[in-house]
Structure 1
Amino acid sequence: MTENPWPVVELRQYTLHPGTRDVLIELFDRELVETQEAAGMRIIAQFRDQNDPERFVWLRAFHGMPSRGTALKAFYIDGAAWREHAPAVRATMVDTTNALLLQPATATSNFTLPTERPGAAATELPHSRVLATVYYPEGPLTEFTEFFENRLRPLLVETGATPIAYFQTDPTPNTFAALPVREEIVFVWLALFEDSAALEAHFNALSNSRTWTEEVQPELSKLQSRREDQLRLAPTARSLLR
């Protein structure tokens, strides 16, 4: 298997002013995808959170932690695109500090992504949906990863939510202090669904599974310091992950 050249991933959740999400997405998809990638990043996905109309969620990746600092400086400090569009972008935002710095949980758990995204003029929204789940392990990440792969992942596959990638906290110090990240231990997995109906079918199948309700869910609760976060996400017209 070819090694994924983007092993450092950010999961970013932004809280926006009411009614501004579409404004931000239109600007982001038009002006801030190729310009970030030209600075040395990979824009993996942009989403509307289906449960929160004031939340914009996105994922980007880097070749490594040293190159992350270089790429972010090139875009945010030296780049013309950010200088031009930052005022309009910031006008939509309430809070941008909900960001997680991640690395693949195993050697084979990173994304396998298409090589091309829809063009800059794309407006058609995909029917697909993404479920992103953030767990908060209380013990060692190695033990939680083992639990996920041996106990939880088979049940997810059985109920129609095959994980397409899973990650854990990258413990490396933040290489770009101007963009803070949450300093807590997490485990994140993502699944891709054909549409909203397929996502709901997964939740129904899981809730009807005695293996889940009687065995796996109680075990999962004991392994976490607090309840997991679940994000139901709709890709934008230019999201690479779709």
Structure 2
Amino acid sequence: MNPPSRRASPVVELRQYTLKPGQRETLIALFDGEFVETQEATGMTVIGQFRDLDRPDMFVWLRGFEDMQTRKDALSAFYGGPVWAAHRGAANSTMIDSDDVLLLKPAWPDAAFDLSGLLRPTVAEDETVSDRSRLSGFVEISIHHLQPGAEAGFAERFQAAAVPQLAAKSARLLGAFISEHAENTFPRLPVRAADNVFIAALGFDDGDVHAGYRAALAASPAWQAVRETMQAVSMKPAETLRLTPTTRSLLR
């Protein structure tokens, strides 16, 4: 087992890849086998890799950087290096679209992902892990599309009003982020620069706990009041991603 390379990343990419039918497991095997340590060796952190339960041809993942200059240097090193050159054909052959990318920063000072103490199996260990229960988990990512300039106020309200209610219903807040509007330092990989979003990542022990959480929220008048307040500054309904981590995902 290897510890993560960083405790938290102030710059995060949320990447959603639309894949060709039936190609998700092919990409996951390639990604987890070839693209985790090799990306981290350039100075980034591979935070989490996920299967989207509602979209069988969608692969969702997160990676982080210390700052925008580190992002430029790390991405230049990886995508200009031998590992990507050797495997890009196989990876790209699984994909229809890889440009759905949100560039993010923590919504408040301690809202970044805390990866301290988290471990991922090595590639060899992944094949021999006997206790699969410790590799379980369920992650929900909600994406709130906000009116321009509303991110900071939305984050403040979410932290004060929503977080306590979510915690009371068995949700663990893994991280909360708003759009990072700094110039894309690696334009070879586009990002959705015009979007104004707030994103919350929640963790659960398993899908049953998550289902109970959703039912509890639906039955809560207090939560409905918070939800209405949040919707008042939203451009459209929030997106909800229901995700299960791959066995080599740190975040789960």
* TM bracket (short chain): over 0.9
**TM-score (norm: length of structure 1):** 0.94
- 8 Å Cα contact 2:46/2:62 also seen in 1: yes
* Structure 1 segments of 4+ aligned residues over 6 angstroms from their partners: none
| 3-state secondary structure, aligned to 2:232 | helix
Match of 1:26 in 2: 29
Mapped to 2, the partners of 1:187 and 1:5 lie a distance apart of 18
Match of 1:234 in 2: 244
- Counterpart check, 1:193 vs 2:195: no
- Counterpart check, 1:90 vs 2:101: no
- 8 Å Cα contact 2:105/2:179 also seen in 1: yes
- 8 Å Cα contact 1:15/1:93 also seen in 2: yes
How far the C-alpha of 1:5 sits from its partner, in A, is: 5.3
Mapped to 2, the partners of 1:23 and 1:82 lie a distance apart of 16
Match of 1:149 in 2: 159
Per-residue CA deviation, residues 6-43 of structure 1 (Å, 9 max, x unaligned), is: 21110000000000000000000000101101111100
- 8 Å Cα contact 2:145/2:197 also seen in 1: yes
Match of 1:162 in 2: 172
- 8 Å Cα contact 2:144/2:237 also seen in 1: yes
Where does the alignment leave 5 or more consecutive residues of structure 2 unmatched? 1-5
Where does the alignment leave 5 or more consecutive residues of structure 1 unmatched? none
Per-residue CA deviation, residues 118-164 of structure 1 (Å, 9 max, x unaligned), is: 11121466321001111112242221111101221122112222312
Mapped to 2, the partners of 1:140 and 1:18 lie a distance apart of 37
Mapped to 2, the partners of 1:39 and 1:232 lie a distance apart of 30
How far the C-alpha of 1:80 sits from its partner, in A, is: 0.5
Indicate the percent of aligned positions where both proteins have the same amino acid: 41
Match of 1:208 in 2: 219
Higher alpha-carbon deviation: 186-195 or 151-160: 151-160
- 8 Å Cα contact 1:18/1:54 also seen in 2: yes
How many positions carry a matched residue from both structures?
238
Match of 1:106 in 2: 108
Per-residue CA deviation, residues 171-205 of structure 1 (Å, 9 max, x unaligned), is: 11000011000121111111110000011011000
Which amino acid in the other structure matches residue 211 of structure 1? A
- 8 Å Cα contact 1:127/1:196 also seen in 2: no
Mapped to 2, the partners of 1:218 and 1:97 lie a distance apart of 31
Cα RMSD (Å): 1.4
Which amino acid in the other structure matches residue 43 of structure 2? G
